[in-house]
Amino acid sequence: MTRPDWHGGEHLPADRGFIAAANHMTNVDPLTFAHYLYDHGFAPKILAKSSLFSVPVLGPVLRVTGQIPVYRNTAQAGDSLRAAVDAVAAGECVAVFPEGTLTRDPDLWPMVGKTGVARLALTTRAPVIPIAQWGAQHLLGQYAKVLKPLPRKRVTVVAGPPVDLDDLYGRPLDTATLREATERVMAAITLLLQDVRGGSAPAVRFDPRRAAARTGDTLRADDDALVGPASPEPEPEPAPASPAPASPALDAAATSPEDATPGEPDGAPPAADHDTPAPGQGAA
């Protein structure tokens, strides 16, 4: 159904566990993400929403292959982080979508990330490999239910060098540190995606909660799981997305008050899931 266009495999570490972090545009791109990693010799442990483990056929496959369930809004939320940490320590590739759900950016650029990927990275000190993918949305539109396999779609997936987080190791895992690490990961993914699709990403990353506040819409459940409840104190204005210079080539814990989800004391990594349209968005 696709014509794979893979690049950057030399950046995937073969000698230690690592975190593969990708953008998320459609419900089919977890498959293209996994396909890319499998083709480079890695059987990824993908963080998937717990309800998917009850889906006929898919659920047993997820369990047999050792994928990691994410229990949103429950006391079990921290289990997925601990499982991810253990997998990295055992030398596995843990695959995550830092945005925690499908991007809400109207042009499919990466939106604000959930700080869980930062906690996983800073806890394990494992390399975070940014991965950009483009083309899977032509196989299955962002909120579409029917695949469009013909003609075969070109799907480009590109890995970049590890995100530099060395200066953040040893610092307290407070809001500022987690946000800084998260933005570095999202900036690296965005830089790769700019090279793949062309054009420039927005100067300020799309934030679903701020967008909902401006329009008066209500966040859907998964958006609230992504950005968390409103902070008890006024939030600072979002920092512009890190600038994307020319490229040389081409679900973890919620820990801040702004990022935490009720019922997730330890947080839960962002998970691949099957989404429904956000307010005002329809099926492709």
Q: What is the pLDDT confidence band of residue 274, given thresholds at 50, 70 and 90?
A: low
Q: What is the pLDDT of residue 177?
A: 97
Q: What is the pLDDT confidence band of residue 73, given thresholds at 50, 70 and 90?
A: confident
Mean pLDDT for the stretch of residues 14-22: 97
Cβ contact 38:6 at 8 Å: no
Among 99, 68, 101, CA closest to 84? 68
Alpha-carbon dihedral of residues 68, 36, 23, 218, nearest 10 degrees? Answer: -50
Residue 100 or residue 251, greater confidence: 100
Q: At what angle do helices 77-89 and 116-124 cross, to 10 degrees?
A: 40
Q: What is the pLDDT of residue 149?
A: 85
**6: enclosing H helix or E strand:** strand 2-7
d(CA 98, CA 171): 21
Task: For residue 49, list its beta bridge partners.
Answer: 70
For 160-206, the pLDDT digits (tens) are: 999 999 999 999 999 999 999 999 999 999 999 999 999 999 999 99
Backbone φ, ψ for residue 166 (5° rounding):
-55, -40
- Burial (0-12, 13-18, 19+ Cβ within 10 Å), 112: buried
Average pLDDT of every residue of the chain = 80
| Residue labelled with tokens 């396999």 | 149
CATH fold of the domain at 2-227: Glycerol-3-phosphate (1)-acyltransferase (3.40.1130)
